[in-house]
């Protein structure tokens, strides 16, 4: 009797059957007719004030004494960050966007109590102006295939029972009760899953070499050291659905015979760290992690290791050096990490997204999985769509979707009626793809052919006002700051590239500079020690390939066609257009503009710091930028 009570208190699940029972009992306790208010608690929505919205909901629900009828849930990222904070009312999936705490009373009063939709909070199509009531009908979501990311909106990431109720850990119990390690690896191989961290290495092959490596100790590592500018999908996944990542890791560990795992996550992701930590604790409590998982005799523990914020630590060998407590520097990988990695033991390192794909493959089967995607790239990929785009956010699409569909159908096109210029994919190691390749299907191989790469799934959209030399300079400056400095090509080469690009954008470029840039790119790709250096020249090479004329204009005419490079532009006032409204004069921080009311103003070039404030405020197009 005492033993039974203790077991009940302990919540520990001892077998696959018990897990099923637990799932049924959680589902049984749920009142499906009960309204659920799901507030997006992703980092982007939090930044827009989602926490205040949650507090307002709690107060309002208490005030009206609706605790029994209404459930409030703060979930992970829903993806449509542009329109945050997002609120979805289940079970009808009424979709409210840009919700403020002031709107909460109305939502409760109208929608929850009276059953009416609050029209003004609905999403309106920017083109047609038509209002959309339900989440699945929003164009942003319509074209997506949210296999990995879909659960984010329905699960409270701090509650393991939510994950279990949605079928979570069933892949783990399937594996532990009926699959041999080799069968799991065969399944992963057959699915065609490739590493989602950037390299695109076939995941199954990596697992197999780790299984075949002979060693007493093997390690499993989750790489959550996402550092690409503009990319935040790993973060959102770990914040919104940490158990899916954990489940993938346990399956991987069982497949290769490892008992020890690490999640290497950036310290700058406090919410991801917190949710991963809660998930590990809860999984331990439920016997889904730790000793004798589901009564199978298999042990596996996971430790969180917080990274110090070095971009290079996303590189597997540098990450492992950092885990070992050494300086986070890469080393040569002539012997694979899967044979000799962390503390010289076989180590299986995969990206957050890769791990999250694993339970799906086990549950639905490799045949189902490999139907999604293209010949060489299977499954879905999560991209972060940012930059000059209407619908900023995280999108999950099947491999093979075209860039055009992604940017114009899902992303809603370019804001303010501007023209599309290029899209930068793959982070600092990727390249810029111009308009003529918009119909290219997005997968690992096609992007590489264009001189870019899939990378971790960053996608920065740029409009016609973007200077491509400036973009190349930005990424090179980023990499210059992040190069560890171990090998000569990367340390010296990137620095020299940055010197040259700075000179070009300041009007000091020389015609031979382009050849020097190409030479440096060759040295980097062939000579650098790790992937950071080997791919560092991609932003420069791809812009040189597709936008060479812009470089030449900068060098020969000392002009920046897009009007971005400060040293190459000049502001002046057109006396014909100027009505003398004093707006620019008041906005000028240096007093460079003088003039009387109702008389054309003049701009003193010697005092002008080219901040563009006058250009932005002028309503009469009288300020000219050249």
Partner 1 sequence: MAKVWIDGETTIEVEAADGVNAFNLTVDDRQIIVSAGQTILEAVQRVDGIGNIPALCNHPAVKPYGACRICTVEVSEDGGNRFKFVAACLYPVKEGLIVRTNTEKIRKLRKGIIELMLARCPNVKRIQELAEEYGVDKPRFVLGDQDCILCGLCVRACQEIMGKSAISLVNRGIYREVAAPFYAYELTEECIGCGDCAFVCPTGAIEMGDDGRPVLPRVKIPYAEVEAMMKKEAAATS
Q: Minimum distance from CB of 491 to partner 1 (Å)?
A: 6
Q: Minimum distance from CB of 609 to partner 1 (Å)?
A: 17
Integer distance in angstroms from the first to the last C-alpha of the chain? 85
d(CA 343, CA 217): 10
Nearer of residues 53 and 487 to partner 1, judged by Cβ: 487
Instruction: Report the 10 Å Cβ neighbour count for 543.
Output: 27
Nearer of residues 200 and 493 to partner 1, judged by Cβ: 493
* Structure tokens given for 323: 């885990």
d(CA 566, CA 224): 37
Q: Minimum distance from CB of 241 to partner 1 (Å)?
A: 34
Nearer of residues 370 and 495 to partner 1, judged by Cβ: 495
Q: Minimum distance from CB of 613 to partner 1 (Å)?
A: 24
d(CA 446, CA 458): 16
Q: Minimum distance from CB of 516 to partner 1 (Å)?
A: 5
d(CA 257, CA 298): 9
Task: Select the residue interacting with partner 1 from 74, 396, 463, 482 (CB under 8 A).
Answer: 482
Report the phi/psi class of residue 288: left, alpha or beta, with left for phi > 0 and alpha for psi in -120 to 50. Answer: alpha
Q: Minimum distance from CB of 331 to partner 1 (Å)?
A: 7
Nearer of residues 491 and 566 to partner 1, judged by Cβ: 491
Q: Minimum distance from CB of 406 to partner 1 (Å)?
A: 33
Binding mask 511-530 for partner 1 (x = CB under 8 A): -x---x--xx-xx--xxxx-
Nearer of residues 108 and 520 to partner 1, judged by Cβ: 520
**Strand stretches in 238-335, DSSP E:** 260-266, 301-307
DSSP letters for 29-46: H--TTSEEEEEE-SHHHH
Distances (CA, A) of 560 to 131, 461, 566, 567, 626: 41, 20, 9, 9, 8
373 three-state secondary structure: strand
Q: Minimum distance from CB of 513 to partner 1 (Å)?
A: 9
Nearer of residues 264 and 478 to partner 1, judged by Cβ: 478
Residues 78-117 that bind partner 1 (CB under 8 A): none
Task: Select the residue interacting with partner 1 from 373, 426, 493, 509 (CB under 8 A).
Answer: 493
Q: Minimum distance from CB of 268 to partner 1 (Å)?
A: 17
Task: Select the residue interacting with partner 1 from 496, 508, 566, 610 (CB under 8 A).
Answer: 496
Residue 506: is it exposed, middle or buried by C-beta count within 10 angstroms (0-12/13-18/19+)?
A: middle
The one-character DSSP state at 309 is S
d(CA 90, CA 136): 12
Q: Are strands 94-96 and 87-90 parallel, antiparallel or unpaired?
A: antiparallel
8 Å CB contact between 521 and 476: no
488 makes contact with partner 1 (CB under 8 A): yes
| Cα–Cα nearest to 251, from 212, 323, 285, 203 | 203
Residue pointed to by tokens 């289940």: 90
122 makes contact with partner 1 (CB under 8 A): no
Nearer of residues 66 and 523 to partner 1, judged by Cβ: 523
8 Å CB contact between 288 and 13: yes
d(CA 241, CA 518): 43
Instruction: Report the 10 Å Cβ neighbour count for 551.
Output: 22
Nearer of residues 335 and 609 to partner 1, judged by Cβ: 335
Nearer of residues 318 and 349 to partner 1, judged by Cβ: 318
Nearer of residues 515 and 616 to partner 1, judged by Cβ: 515
Instruction: Count interface residues toward partner 1 (CB under 8 A).
Output: 34
Question: Phi and psi of 356, rounded to 5°?
Answer: -65, -20
Nearer of residues 527 and 561 to partner 1, judged by Cβ: 527
566 makes contact with partner 1 (CB under 8 A): no
270 makes contact with partner 1 (CB under 8 A): no
Nearer of residues 87 and 517 to partner 1, judged by Cβ: 517
Nearer of residues 133 and 534 to partner 1, judged by Cβ: 534
Q: Minimum distance from CB of 327 to partner 1 (Å)?
A: 7
Helix 242-256 with 203-212: angle, nearest 10 deg: 40
486 makes contact with partner 1 (CB under 8 A): yes
8 Å CB contact between 123 and 97: yes
Residue 302: is it exposed, middle or buried by C-beta count within 10 angstroms (0-12/13-18/19+)?
A: buried
Helices (H), 442-568: 444-449, 468-482, 488, 494-505, 513-527, 531-534, 538-546, 548-552
267 makes contact with partner 1 (CB under 8 A): no
Window contacting partner 1 (CB under 8 A); options: 105-113, 232-240, 292-300, 493-501: 493-501
The total number of residues shown for the chain amounts to 626
Q: Minimum distance from CB of 528 to partner 1 (Å)?
A: 7
483 makes contact with partner 1 (CB under 8 A): yes
Q: How wide is the angle at C-alpha 576 spanned by C-alphas 570 and 578, nearest 5°?
A: 70
Residues 411-470 that bind partner 1 (CB under 8 A): none
8 Å CB contact between 552 and 559: no
487 makes contact with partner 1 (CB under 8 A): yes
Residues 285-344 that bind partner 1 (CB under 8 A): 310, 312, 327, 331-332, 334-335
Window contacting partner 1 (CB under 8 A); options: 85-93, 342-350, 366-374, 488-496: 488-496
480 makes contact with partner 1 (CB under 8 A): yes
13 makes contact with partner 1 (CB under 8 A): no
* Structure tokens given for 321: 């050096």
Task: Select the residue interacting with partner 1 from 484, 501, 536, 588 (CB under 8 A).
Answer: 484
Q: Minimum distance from CB of 496 to partner 1 (Å)?
A: 5
Q: Minimum distance from CB of 213 to partner 1 (Å)?
A: 16
Give the contacts of 123 (CB within 8 A, at least 6 positions apart): 83, 95, 97, 131, 132, 138
531 makes contact with partner 1 (CB under 8 A): no
Task: Select the residue interacting with partner 1 from 499, 570, 581, 608 (CB under 8 A).
Answer: 499
Q: For binding to partner 1 (CB under 8 A), which residues are involved? A: 310, 312, 327, 331-332, 334-335, 480-489, 491-496, 499, 512, 516, 519-520, 522-523, 526-529
């Amino acid at each position: 009797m005492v033993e039974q009570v203790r077991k009940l208190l302990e919540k520990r699940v001892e077998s696959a059957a018990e897990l099923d029972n637990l799932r049924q009992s959680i589902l049984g306790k749920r009142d499906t007719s009960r309204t659920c208010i799901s507030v997006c608690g992703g980092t982007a929505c939090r930044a827009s004030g989602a926490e205040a919205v949650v507090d307002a909901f709690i107060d309002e629900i208490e005030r009206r004494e609706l605790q029994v009828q209404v459930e409030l849930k703060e979930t992970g990222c829903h993806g449509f960050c542009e329109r945050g904070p997002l609120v979805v009312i289940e079970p009808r999936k009424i979709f409210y966007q840009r919700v403020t705490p002031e709107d909460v009373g109305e939502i409760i009063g109208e929608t929850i109590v009276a059953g009416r939709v609050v029209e003004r909070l609905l999403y309106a199509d920017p083109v047609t102006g038509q209002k959309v009531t339900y989440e699945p009908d929003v164009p942003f979501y319509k074209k997506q295939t949210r296999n990995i990311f879909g659960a984010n909106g329905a699960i409270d990431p701090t509650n393991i029972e939510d994950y279990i109720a949605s079928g979570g850990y069933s892949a783990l119990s399937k594996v532990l009760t009926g699959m041999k390690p080799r069968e799991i690896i065969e399944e992963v191989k057959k699915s065609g899953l490739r590493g989602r961290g950037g390299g695109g290495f076939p995941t199954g092959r990596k697992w197999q070499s780790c299984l075949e490596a002979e060693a007493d100790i093997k390690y499993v590592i989750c790489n959550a050291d996402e550092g690409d500018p503009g990319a935040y999908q790993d973060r959102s996944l770990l914040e919104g659905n940490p158990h899916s990542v954990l489940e993938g890791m346990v399956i991987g560990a069982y497949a290769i015979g490892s008992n020890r795992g690490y999640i290497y996550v950036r310290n700058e992701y406090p919410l991801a760290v917190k949710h991963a930590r809660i998930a590990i604790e809860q999984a331990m409590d439920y016997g889904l992690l730790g000793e004798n998982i589901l009564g199978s005799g298999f042990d596996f523990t996971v430790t969180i290791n917080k990274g110090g914020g070095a971009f290079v630590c996303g590189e597997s060998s540098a990450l492992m050096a950092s885990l070992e407590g050494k300086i986070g520097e890469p080393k040569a990988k002539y012997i694979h990490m899967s044979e000799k990695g962390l503390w010289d033991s076989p180590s299986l390192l995969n990206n957050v997204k890769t791990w999250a794909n694993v339970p799906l493959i086990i549950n639905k089967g490799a045949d189902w999985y490999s139907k999604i995607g293209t010949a060489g790239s299977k499954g879905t990929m999560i991209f972060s769509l940012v930059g000059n785009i209407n619908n900023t956010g995280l999108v999950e699409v099947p491999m093979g979707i075209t860039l055009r569909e992604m940017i114009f159908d899902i992303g809603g096109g370019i804001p303010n009626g501007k023209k599309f210029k290029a899209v930068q994919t793959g982070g600092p190691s990727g390249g810029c793809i111009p308009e003529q390749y918009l119909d290219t299907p997005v997968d690992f191989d096609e992007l590489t052919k264009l001189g870019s790469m899939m990378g971790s799934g960053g996608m920065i959209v740029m409009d016609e006002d973007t200077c491509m030399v400036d973009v190349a300079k930005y990424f090179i400056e980023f990499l210059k700051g992040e190069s560890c400095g171990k090998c000569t090509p990367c340390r010296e080469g990137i620095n020299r590239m940055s010197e040259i690009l700075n000179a070009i954008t300041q009007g000091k470029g020389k015609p031979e500079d382009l050849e020097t840039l190409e030479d440096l790119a060759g040295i980097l790709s062939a000579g650098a020690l790790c992937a950071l250096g080997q791919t560092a020249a991609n932003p420069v090479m791809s812009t040189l390939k597709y936008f060479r004329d812009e470089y030449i204009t900068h060098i020969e005419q000392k002009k920046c066609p897009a009007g971005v490079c400060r040293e190459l532009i000049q502001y002046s006032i057109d006396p014909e257009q100027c009505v003398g409204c004093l707006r620019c004069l008041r906005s000028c921080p240096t007093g460079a503009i003088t003039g009387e009311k109702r008389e054309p103003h003049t701009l003193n070039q010697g005092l002008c710091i080219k901040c563009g404030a006058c250009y932005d405020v002028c309503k009469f197009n009288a300020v000219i930028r050249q």
